[in-house]
Amino acid sequence: MFKIPNSHLTHSPSRCLSIIVPCFNEGDGLDAFFNRLEPILLKLQEYDYEIVCIDDGSHDNTLEVLCRHATRNPHIVVLELSRNFGKEAALTAGIDATRGDAVIPLDADLQHPPELIVEMVKQWENGSDVVLARRKSRETDHLVQRLVTQWFYRLHNWISECAIPRDVGDFRLMDKRVVEAIKRLPERRRFMKGLFAWVGFRQSVVEFVAESRKSGKSSFNARRLWVLALEGITSFSTVPLAVWAYAGFTVAALALVYGCWIIIKTLVFGIDVPGYASLLTAVLFLGGIQLMGIGVLGEYIGRIYSESKQRPVYIIRQRYGGGNLDA
């Protein structure tokens, strides 16, 4: 019986930290972001590092600012996607491009404090494969967003095959073995928080207080949050499909009971004039139930259709940095 050592416990001068930074219209805040991040990485003198920035089809000067920093610092690599594919695709592109022994996704808006990386690395060195960054509070979110988030976590973890840690986003440290496991997952419609949780591995938690955005505004409006919630639920649970079987059984049972009551009432009291209101209500109710069931079924069929086309999750237009800064 022997124990296979963790990959990150092998002390060698080639150990590397990979920081993944998805960017969408973050041009105004990138200077402050790099000014705050780079000194933290330089403090970890025993590690080499790379900062993989993904320009997810930004409409402002994000790409220009990223390339300027990549020219200044050879540790910065910029991936320009051919269009806006969304944050989940940008994260996937960053994960595929990393070479580090540990990988840390980090938002460019500085709501994720870079100073926490030092504590994450310390817990990773102590044997954790994944170090989760958990928010102590959600005071920076507005009331509706806090309520929707709480509802989503409760519902998802109740019906899903794997639970997502509450108040934990994409900000985390992952050992190279965890990253390689995620890379092997074949689905193209990706809910990264669920994939991170699904692969498992030994985990620990550090807590932080989320700061307000230093510049710009969040691209996650109500519609995008709703789509992301549906993506998470349908990616990791088939309960919404099974629910309609029980709903159909319940409606059929109620209809049978009501039918028996009509027969008994007719035999005892005679035939009365049927009510159009009750008939219309029943038809509309059953029609609504059927349409909702078809809608849920259509959501899953749509996922099957998307996966069957086997389109790439993202397309890289150009890579900048590492001796390649040509437009």
The average confidence (pLDDT) of the chain is: 76
Across 294-301, average pLDDT: 77
**pLDDT given at position 144:** 61
Structure tokens at 138: 């959600």
**pLDDT given at position 169:** 79
What is the Cα–Cα distance from 155 to 233, expressed in whole angstroms? 8
**pLDDT given at position 217:** 59
Across 198-210, average pLDDT: 82
- Smallest CA-to-CA distance from 174 within 156, 188, 192 is with 192
CA angle 203–207–209, rounded 5-degree value: 150
How sure is the predictor about 4, in pLDDT bands with cuts at 50, 70 and 90?
A: very low
Residue with the bigger pLDDT between 51 and 154: it is 51
Give yes or no for a contact between 55 and 70, defined as CB atoms under 8 angstroms apart: no
Give yes or no for a contact between 191 and 161, defined as CB atoms under 8 angstroms apart: no
Give yes or no for a contact between 18 and 53, defined as CB atoms under 8 angstroms apart: no
What is the Cα–Cα distance from 106 to 21, expressed in whole angstroms? 5
Across 199-215, average pLDDT: 76
**pLDDT given at position 12:** 45
How sure is the predictor about 9, in pLDDT bands with cuts at 50, 70 and 90?
A: very low
- The stretches of 112-238 forming alpha helices (DSSP H) are 116-125, 143-159, 176-183, 192-199, 222-236
Across 135-141, average pLDDT: 66
**pLDDT given at position 137:** 67
What is the Cα–Cα distance from 260 to 119, expressed in whole angstroms? 68
**pLDDT given at position 275:** 60
pLDDT at 21 over 70: yes
Across 57-71, 114-128, 142-156, least confident range: 142-156
**pLDDT given at position 44:** 85
Q: What is the Cα 152 distance to its own chain's centre?
A: 12
pLDDT at 194 over 70: yes
Across 314-321, average pLDDT: 86
Percent of the chain residues topping a pLDDT of 70 = 70
For the CA atoms of 18, 19, 21, 26, the dihedral, rounded to the nearest 10 degrees, stands at -130
How sure is the predictor about 253, in pLDDT bands with cuts at 50, 70 and 90?
A: confident
Across 2-6, 39-43, 157-161, 241-245, least confident range: 2-6
What is the Cα–Cα distance from 160 to 158, expressed in whole angstroms? 6
How sure is the predictor about 237, in pLDDT bands with cuts at 50, 70 and 90?
A: low
**pLDDT given at position 298:** 77
Helices (H) and strands (E) in the chain — how many of each? Answer: 10, 8
pLDDT at 325 over 50: no
Quick count: other Cβ atoms within 10 Å of Cβ 222?
Answer: 10
**pLDDT given at position 3:** 36
Across 119-123, average pLDDT: 88
pTM exceeds 0.75: no
What is the Cα–Cα distance from 71 to 320, expressed in whole angstroms? 9
Residue with the bigger pLDDT between 138 and 97: it is 97
How sure is the predictor about 5, in pLDDT bands with cuts at 50, 70 and 90?
A: very low
| pLDDT tens digits, one per residue of 144-162 | 666 666 676 676 666 677 7
**pLDDT given at position 27:** 82
